[in-house]
């Protein structure tokens, strides 16, 4: 199995394509409007994206700031990263990338 980095850039998306993805190691990088998965609760519940078993979650700090959020708003399951951190993740931790 592969090591896959998934860039998630939408708040509303098709659940099934993301749910079907499998990897030995998966990193979910929330960018653009995807950052809402890291900060918004619906009916008191975390985004279903954050329930992906075994995945590591990251959110791009610049996209959080652009949307008016701070580190205090971010779910504890999600690590805040910079562009440089994302480059390091891609180069060092993951073999393939997907953008959904």
For 25-60, what is each residue's pLDDT tens digit?
A: 999 999 999 999 999 888 889 998 999 888 999 999
Half-sphere exposure of 36 (CA within 13 A, CB side): 11
Domains plus CATH for the chain? 3-99 (3.40.1260.10)
* Maximum mean pLDDT: which of 16-20, 39-43, 52-56, 65-69: 65-69
Among residues 74, 24, 78, 81, the alpha carbon closest in space to that of 54 is found at 24
């Amino acid at each position: 199995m592969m090591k896959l980095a998934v860039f998630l850039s939408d708040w509303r998306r098709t659940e099934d394509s993301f749910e079907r993805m499998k990897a030995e190691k998966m990193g979910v990088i929330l960018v653009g409007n995807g950052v809402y998965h890291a900060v918004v609760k619906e009916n008191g519940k975390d985004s279903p994206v954050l329930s992906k078993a075994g995945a590591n979650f990251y959110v791009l700090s610049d996209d959080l700031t652009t949307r008016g959020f701070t580190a205090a708003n971010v779910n504890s399951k999600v690590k805040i990263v910079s562009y440089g951190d994302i480059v390091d993740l891609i180069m060092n931790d993951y073999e393939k990338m997907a953008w959904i």
